[in-house]
Amino acid sequence: LLEPVLLLGKERFAGVDIRVRVKGGGHVAQIYAIRQSISKALVAYYQKCE
């Protein structure tokens, strides 16, 4: 789950609040889904703001 944070740096996460709910699948599949959704959301957020 920390890959997006490590790639962008902690300073870019300072003003971002992230909440994720997952349903179904196994634990590993849920973790991959959370990681992918965070990455997609951050890309969309920073493309919109910059």
Per-residue pLDDT of 4-47, as tens digits, reads 777 777 777 777 788 888 999 999 999 999 989 888 888 888 78
Of 5, 7, 8, 30, the C-alpha closest to 18 is 5
d(CA 4, CA 1): 7
Q: Indicate whether 3 pLDDT > 90.
A: no
Q: Give the confidence band of 50 by pLDDT, cuts at 50, 70, 90.
A: low
Please report which residue ranges of the chain form alpha helices under DSSP H. 3-8, 27-49
- Give me the pLDDT at residue 15, please: 76
Query: Model pTM greater than 0.85?
Result: no
Domain count for the chain = 1
Q: Say if CB 49 and CB 8 are below 8 A apart.
A: no
Range of the domain at 45: 3-49
Residue 16 contacts by C-beta under 8 Å, 6 or more apart in sequence? 42, 45
